[in-house]
C-alpha cells in the first residue's frame, strides 16, 4: 500500500496513530497534494464552509490512492440528522472545504489492483463507516469500531478508545471526503461496498448505508423483545425506522415522542404507532408523567434515544452548553431513565459528543435501569440480512423518503431539513449519474426557479 505517499497529516489535529492503514485527512481532493484524478475532471460536491454554512462547490474528481480503493460514481445520497451536528459545528475538527456525506450508493468507476469481488459498472451501496475487514473488531463484524481506519488520537484521549473512520464526518473520524458529491473515494472498497441486486433500486438500497442498520441496531442492541412496550424519543428517520423495526421484533406497543408534524407523518406510515407531542403537555405534565399514565403507571419496558445531545429543552442546559460547561444535555436521557419501568432498558443511538451535567444516576442505580450506548451502528453486522428483508418487502425504506432533490441544490436542502420545512423527512439526492425515479419513490422537487 502506498502509505508514505498517501498518508497526509493535518497540522491542527491533536495527534495521529501511524498504525492506521489508509490514506486519511483527504476530505477534499483539492485541499491535499496528489489526491486528484490526473484527468483534471471536476465534480460538484457539498462542502462545509464554517459553522452553519454549507455550499455546493466544484472540486477535483478523486483518484485511486491505495491498492484497495474504489472510485464510485455517486448515484444517490441523502442528508442525515448526523449531518446537522456537522452543520452546527457540534462535532469537532471540521475544516473549511471538507466534503460531507456518509450515506451514498453508486457505480464502480475505477479501482485499485487489490480490490477483489467487484467489477467496473457494479451497482453498490457504501457503509457509512470505513472498515479494514481484518482487525479484532472487523473480524466480529463490529465495523464501526475498526481499529485501522481512523488515525485521529483525539478520540482516544476523550473516549478511551476510538471509532472507525467515517465518510464525510470530520477529521475526528479520520478525515475522509464524503459522498454528497458526484464521485467519492472508498477505501477498502472490497469491504465497504455491498452489491445491490437488480430488484433493489438505489432509492431503497441507499439506506442500508446507515439508517436501516442504525435503527435496527437501536432495537436489537437495546434488547427489544416480544410484547415489549417501546418508547422512542425523536420522530426523524431514525426514530421512524426504529418504530417499524420494534414492531417487527414483536413489540406490543410503540410510542413516539416529538413536538412537530413528523409525529403525524409517522402515524400515517405506521398506523399502529402511538404518539406523544411534548409541546402539547399540560402545565403539570411531563413526558415521564404522561408515559406513566399511558403505561399502567409503571412506564414502558424500553426507551430508545433517536434525537441527540445537542438539543437542550430548558434554559439551564441551553446556557450550560453555551458556556462550555457541558457538551450535551442530559434531559432526554433523564426522561428515559425515569419513564421506563424498574429494570427497564434505555438505548442511546442519537449522537452525544462529550460530557453532561445533572445526570439522574440515582434513579438509574436504585431502580436497576440498564443504560446502553448503542454506539455508531456496525453496518457490516446487519446489512446483508437487511438487504434480504428489503428484497422480500418486509422492510420498505421508501416509507421515510419524502423528497427527491438534485445534488446541485443540496445546500438549500440542508437548511430545509434542519428546519423541518416542506414536510421533509428523508431525501434522496440524485446526481447526473442517477437513473430515473424508481416506482414508489417521490418525483423530483426543484427549488430554484
Positions that interact with ligand NAD (CB under 6 A): 80-82, 84-85, 210, 214, 233-239, 257-260, 262, 306-308, 311, 313, 332, 349-351, 374, 376-377
Q: Cβ 385 to ligand NAD, closest distance in Å?
A: 17
DSSP 216-244: HHHHHHTT--TT-EEEEE--SHHHHHHHH
Unique residue bearing C-alpha cell 412537530: 260
Cell of 184: 467519492
Q: Cβ 349 to ligand NAD, closest distance in Å?
A: 5
**Residue 101 contacts residue 46 (beta carbons within 8 Å):** yes
Give the number of other CB atoms < 10 A from CB of residue 34.
14
Q: Cβ 296 to Zn ion, closest distance in Å?
A: 35
Q: Cβ 170 to ligand NAD, closest distance in Å?
A: 13
Distance, in Å, from the CA atom of 307 to the CA atom of 22, rounded to the nearest integer, reads 32
Q: Which is nearer to Zn ion, 32 or 207 (CB)?
A: 207
Unique residue bearing C-alpha cell 403539570: 284
Cell of 221: 442492541
Distance, in Å, from the CA atom of 88 to the CA atom of 222, rounded to the nearest integer, reads 28
Q: Cβ 425 to ligand NAD, closest distance in Å?
A: 8
Q: Which is nearer to Zn ion, 210 or 258 (CB)?
A: 210
State the number of binding residues for Zn ion (CB under 5 A): 9
Q: Which is nearer to ligand NAD, 136 or 261 (CB)?
A: 261
For 33: left if phi > 0, alpha if psi spans -120 to 50, otherwise beta; the answer is beta
Cell of 368: 436497576
Q: Which of the listed partners (Zn ion, ligand NAD, none) does 350 bind, with a CB threshold of 5 to 8 Å by partner kind?
A: ligand NAD
Distance, in Å, from the CA atom of 289 to the CA atom of 221, rounded to the nearest integer, reads 26
Q: Which is nearer to ligand NAD, 32 or 233 (CB)?
A: 233
**Residue 237 contacts residue 212 (beta carbons within 8 Å):** no
Question: Judged by CB under 5 A, which stretch of 19-27, 30-38, 131-139, 327-335 contacts Zn ion?
Answer: 131-139
82 lies in the site for Zn ion, by CB under 5 A: yes
Q: Cβ 51 to ligand NAD, closest distance in Å?
A: 17
Q: Which is nearer to Zn ion, 131 or 251 (CB)?
A: 131
> What would the x/- binding string for Zn ion be over residues 175 to 214, using CB under 5 A?
-----------------------------------x----
Q: Which of the listed partners (ligand NAD, Zn ion, none) does 239 bind, with a CB threshold of 5 to 8 Å by partner kind?
A: ligand NAD
Q: Which of the listed partners (Zn ion, ligand NAD, none) does 148 bind, with a CB threshold of 5 to 8 Å by partner kind?
A: Zn ion
Question: Judged by CB under 5 A, which stretch of 1-9, 55-63, 136-144, 338-346 contacts Zn ion?
Answer: 136-144
Q: 3-state DSSP call for residue 168?
A: coil
13 lies in the site for Zn ion, by CB under 5 A: no
Closest CA to 290 of 235, 243, 339: 339
Q: Which of 45, 47, 72, 80 binds Zn ion (CB under 5 A)?
A: 80
Q: Which of the listed partners (ligand NAD, Zn ion, none) does 132 bind, with a CB threshold of 5 to 8 Å by partner kind?
A: Zn ion
Which stretch of DSSP H or E encloses residue 108?
Answer: strand 104-111
Q: Which of 7, 31, 84, 132 binds Zn ion (CB under 5 A)?
A: 132
Distance, in Å, from the CA atom of 351 to the CA atom of 328, rounded to the nearest integer, reads 9
Q: Which of the listed partners (Zn ion, ligand NAD, none) does 135 bind, with a CB threshold of 5 to 8 Å by partner kind?
A: Zn ion
**Residue 429 contacts residue 405 (beta carbons within 8 Å):** yes
Q: Which of the listed partners (Zn ion, ligand NAD, none) does 332 bind, with a CB threshold of 5 to 8 Å by partner kind?
A: ligand NAD
Q: Cβ 158 to ligand NAD, closest distance in Å?
A: 17
**Residue 240 contacts residue 268 (beta carbons within 8 Å):** no
Distance, in Å, from the CA atom of 255 to the CA atom of 419, rounded to the nearest integer, reads 23
Handedness of CA 92, 97, 98, 99 (dihedral sign): positive
Cell of 265: 407523518
Q: Cβ 402 to ligand NAD, closest distance in Å?
A: 11
Q: Cβ 151 to Zn ion, closest distance in Å?
A: 13
Q: Which is nearer to ligand NAD, 51 or 432 (CB)?
A: 51
138 lies in the site for Zn ion, by CB under 5 A: yes
Question: Which parts of 150-250 fold into alpha helices (H)?
Answer: 154-159, 189-192, 202-205, 211-221, 237-248
Q: Which of the listed partners (Zn ion, ligand NAD, none) does 146 bind, with a CB threshold of 5 to 8 Å by partner kind?
A: Zn ion
Give the distance, in angstroms, between the CA of residue 288 and the centroid of all CA atoms in the same chain: 27
**DSSP label of 73:** E
List, in sequence order, every residue forming a beta bridge with 77; answer none if it has no partner.
104, 429
Q: Residue with CB nearest ligand NAD? A: 81
Contact positions vs Zn ion (CB under 5 A): 80, 82, 131-132, 135, 138, 146, 148, 210
Amino acid at each position: 500500500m502506498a502509505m508514505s505517499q498517501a498518508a497526509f497529516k493535518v497540522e491542527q489535529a491533536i495527534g495521529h496513530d501511524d498504525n492506521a492503514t489508509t490514506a486519511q485527512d483527504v476530505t477534499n481532493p483539492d485541499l491535499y497534494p496528489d489526491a486528484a484524478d490526473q484527468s483534471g475532471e471536476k465534480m460538484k460536491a457539498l462542502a462545509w464552509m464554517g459553522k452553519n454554512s454549507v455550499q455546493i462547490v466544484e472540486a477535483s474528481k478523486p483518484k485511486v490512492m491505495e491498492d484497495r480503493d474504489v472510485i464510485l460514481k455517486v448515484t444517490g445520497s441523502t442528508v442525515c440528522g448526523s449531518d446537522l451536528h456537522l452543520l452546527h459545528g457540534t462535532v469537532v475538527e471540521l475544516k473549511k472545504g471538507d466534503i460531507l456525506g456518509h450515506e451514498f450508493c453508486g457505480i464502480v468507476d475505477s479501482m485499485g489492483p487489490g480490490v477483489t469481488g467487484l467489477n467496473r459498472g457494479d451497482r453498490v451501496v457504501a457503509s457509512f463507516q470505513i472498515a479494514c475487514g481484518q482487525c479484532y473488531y472487523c473480524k466480529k463484524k463490529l465495523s464501526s469500531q475498526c481499529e485501522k481506519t481512523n488515525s485521529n488520537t483525539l478520540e482516544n484521549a476523550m473516549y478511551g478508545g476510538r471509532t472507525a473512520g467515517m465518510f464525510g464526518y470530520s477529521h475526528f473520524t479520520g478525515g475522509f471526503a464524503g459522498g454528497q458529491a458526484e464521485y467519492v473515494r472508498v477505501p477498502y472498497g472490497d469491504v465497504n461496498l455491498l452489491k445491490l441486486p437488480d430488484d433493489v433500486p438505489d432509492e431503497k438500497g441507499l439506506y442500508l448505508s446507515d439508517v436501516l442498520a442504525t435503527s435496527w441496531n437501536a432495537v436489537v442492541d437495546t434488547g427489544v423483545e416480544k410484547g415489549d412496550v417501546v418508547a422512542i424519543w425523536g420522530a426523524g428517520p431514525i426514530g421512524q425506522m426504529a418504530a417499524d423495526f420494534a414492531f417487527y421484533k414483536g413489540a406490543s406497543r410503540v410510542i413516539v415522542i416529538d413536538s412537530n408534524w413528523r409525529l403525524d407523518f409517522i402515524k400515517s406510515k405506521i398506523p399502529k404507532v402511538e404518539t406523544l407531542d411534548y409541546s402539547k403537555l399540560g402545565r403539570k405534565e411531563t413526558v415521564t408523567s404522561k408515559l406513566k399514565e399511558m403505561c399502567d403507571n409503571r412506564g414502558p419496558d424500553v426507551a430508545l434515544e433517536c434525537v441527540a445531545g445537542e438539543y437542550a429543552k430548558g434554559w439551564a442546559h441551553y446556557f450550560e452548553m453555551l458556556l462550555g460547561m457541558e457538551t450535551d444535555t442530559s434531559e432526554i436521557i433523564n426522561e428515559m431513565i425515569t419513564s421506563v419501568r424498574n429494570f427497564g432498558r434505555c438505548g442511546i443511538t442519537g449522537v452525544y459528543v462529550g460530557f453532561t451535567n445533572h445526570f439522574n444516576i440515582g434513579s438509574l442505580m436504585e431502580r436497576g435501569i440498564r443504560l446502553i450506548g448503542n454506539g455508531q451502528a456496525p453496518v457490516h453486522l446487519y446489512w446483508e440480512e437487511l438487504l434480504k428483508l428489503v428484497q422480500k418487502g418486509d422492510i420498505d425504506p421508501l416509507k421515510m423518503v419524502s423528497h427527491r432533490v438534485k445534488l446541485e441544490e443540496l445546500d438549500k436542502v440542508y437548511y430545509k431539513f434542519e428546519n423541518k420545512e416542506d414536510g421533509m423527512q428523508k431525501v434522496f439526492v440524485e446526481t447526473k449519474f442517477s437513473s430515473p425515479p424508481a416506482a414508489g419513490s417521490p418525483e423530483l422537487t426543484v427549488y430554484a426557479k
